[in-house]
Amino acid sequence: MLAQDIRMTDYDYPLPQERIARYPLPCRDTSKLLVYRHGQLSTDTFVNLPHYLPKGALMVFNNTRVIQARLHFRKATGALIEVFLLEPFQPADYEQVFQTTSRCSWLCLVGNLKKWKEGVLSRTVTVGKQTVEVSARLIGPHATSQLVELSWHVATNPSATTVPGAFDATPPSATTVPGGFAATPPSATTVPGGFAAGSPTPSFAELLEALGELPIPPYLNRATEQSDTTTYQTVYSKIKGSVAAPTAGLHFTERVLTAIDERAISREELTLHVGAGTFRPVKSETIAGHAMHTETIAVRRHTIAQLIAHQAQAIAVGTTSVRTLESLYWLGLRVMANPDMADEQPHIDQWEPYGHDNTVPGGSPAAPPSASTVPGGFAAGSPTAIEALQALLNWMDRRAMDTLHASTQIIIVPGYEFKIVKMLVTNFHQPQSTLLLLVSAFVGGNWRAIYDYALDNGYRFLSYGDASLLIP
């Protein structure tokens, strides 16, 4: 079967609401662990995960950190507007945007957009000992999102507690924004260890800690709580930029990581900033009609060298790590075809691993042709993963690049031939989702046996749910 023929109804299963974990367990590593090993299924506890991993292997983690991406403003009319940050626009670099101290612009989802056609929304927030005035200006639509400019400055009259359109001292309680997300708009917040009087304007990173709210998945059907600021981050998260957690990593604790080290398993980290598109359902009958979201990735030279040293074989923690690792192979093939490629931040298209004829009349994303080629005319799978990674490493060295920055739109569906990932740690995903297609591809189509077992044996599903270790 060709990829374009995959019908999403073939990847449906009954998921009762009570099986969705709305909260995590008190101890991360006490969740259940489903072990799928060469077709055999068994149950264990996550703390025992290291015992199933081969000594001396390479395990790859996504070290992205979830930002407080939900911002709430109130118009003078009383209408509540939610601005959900998706990705930075100006400056587009994540590190740079979090260091800005006066203004930046983001691509956003806007809840209650029909109530905000024009004008500037404002509110005040306390950052340390400073009162900061924050403004949001709607610039207009940009592809499937809205471009919003944010600006801020230290208030010249800090005794004034509000500005027109801002929250007052008693903001509304948990509210659902029409067309938006469940939200609890924060009041003026003080960040511990903040600024002394007279200090410079806070950076956007510091402002966001006071102004924003951590986004949790909409299917949890509850407002964000203070505990989520800890439990919805992995213990190894470092690089700010995601609007959703790489949830397979939520189970890891320091004792699990120590046990992994004791088995001489090398740990490497990469960064893929998870976008809101991870929650976007597939609405088309077949996967050919679904446009995959784009996410930015960053991989250190050392990590690529470690992959080569481990024969281009890795244990991936989470589907985001899978998509990043597999994208490296296709980036390497592109370099093999054009060793002097000038693009410093290359992009992998949705169907690039399957073929180069990627559009159909009307501009919809096309499914791959049966005879697959990649840029440069290679037959799919002809160069080895080691060859592709070495070509990519050489290309980086010629440019004195310590870190590869790229973006990927790769979609992994049944029939995909995995190049680098040999074992996968992942949670249980929503019916008819691209993540379920990835799991099916990884286990050779045997996903339904895994999910039936999980449902029959009391496993908890989705972001705060239990885990699985998949060994094809």
Predicted confidence at residue 5, as pLDDT, reads 80
3-state secondary structure at position 48: helix
pLDDT at residue 143, rounded to an integer: 87
Q: Specify the range with the lowest mean pLDDT, choosing from 90-99, 120-129, 142-151, 349-358.
A: 349-358
Tens digit of each residue's pLDDT (9 = 90 or more) over 430-456? 999 999 999 999 999 999 999 999 999
* pLDDT at residue 82, as a whole number: 96
Write down the H helix ranges in 212-371: 228-231, 254-262, 301-309, 319-337
- Reported as a single tens digit per residue, the pLDDT across 147-171 is 999 999 998 765 544 444 444 333 4
Concatenating the DSSP letter of every residue in 265-308 gives -EEEEEEE---GGGG----SSBGGGPPPPPEEEEEEHHHHHHHH
Q: What is the pLDDT of residues 369-395, one digit of tens each?
A: 333 444 444 444 479 999 999 999 999
- Give CA–CA dist 9/462, Å, rounded: 19
The strand pair at 347-348 and 70-74 is best described as unpaired
CB atoms under 10 Å from CB of 342, counted, come to: 7
* Domain span(s) for CATH 3.40.1780.10 in the chain: 3-65+231-471
Q: List the one residue out of 320, 187, 312 whose CA is nearest residue 248.
A: 320
Tens digit of pLDDT for each residue in 93-126? Answer: 999 999 999 999 999 999 999 999 888 999 999 9
Q: Phi and psi for 419 in degrees, rounded to 5? A: -100, -35
CATH class belonging to 3-65+231-471: alpha beta
- What residue has token string 């290291």? 50
Q: Is 114 helix (H, G, I), strand (E, B) or coil?
A: helix
Higher pLDDT, 359 or 272: 272
